[in-house]
Amino acid sequence: MVKPIKPKRAWQRMLSGRRLDLLDPSPFDIEMEDIARGLARVARWNGQTSGDHAFSVAEHSVVVETLFFQLNPKATKAERLTALLHDAAEYVVGDMISPFKNALGLDYRAFENRLEEAIHIRFGLPAQIPAKLKKSIKLCDIYCAWFEATQIAGFTVQEADQFFKKPPPNLALTISPKSVVEAEQLLLERFDELH
């Protein structure tokens, strides 16, 4: 007699009690508290940064939204919320560095996109980000990476200029990694302001 193959578990239990199916994520299984907790514990640059605390994706998300609003002062709250949630899928999949994402190919990106769509629907945003908005948010993401690279990740300005787009001179900020508790709270507070 052939023993049936037991399907492998493809869901993750969150602290909220939700079970998020990674292959078919439902907006009903997504909670902002789970996102904030997860992102506050995911380190940018694979943790290869200076300082007492890793620079978390939660804090990065707030900085990107801040840059986005500085460059787009007429942006709606929904557009700002979209900027804030630009890396929200990483609460489940982690912050893979771009070279690794590129090596994995389109299957990974499709997986990440399904999760991102479910997150957007959960918070009343369009599942698909309009191309112009996505491009504008990505630019702020790259500017933020330049600041991170030069301030905490050990890049010289010349190196950062080669790999990232240098921010315009009117944009200035100081990257100051916070504890996971502070980063989680910072993200939740900004979410509450925009949602």
Distance CA 11, CA 102 (A): 25
In the chain (195 residues long), the average pLDDT of successive 10-residue segments reads: 74 90 91 97 94 97 98 98 97 75 68 92 96 97 97 97 94 95 98 97
Q: Is the pTM of this model over 0.75?
A: yes
CA-based nearest residue to 61, from 150, 124, 140, 151:
140
Whether domain 28-194 has CATH 1.10.3210.10: the reply is yes
Q: How many CA atoms lie within 13 A of 176 on its CB side?
A: 4
Answer positive or negative: Cα dihedral of 79, 42, 117, 15: negative
Query: pLDDT digit string (tens) for 19-44?
Result: 998 888 999 999 999 999 999 999 99
Residues in the chain: 195
> Domain coordinates of the chain in residue numbers?
28-194
Would you tell me how many other CB atoms lie within 10 Å of the CB of residue 147? Answer: 22
Residues contacting 120, CB < 8 A, separation 6+? 82, 85, 126, 127, 129
Q: What is the pLDDT of residue 83?
A: 98
Pair of tokens at residue 124: 């009343």
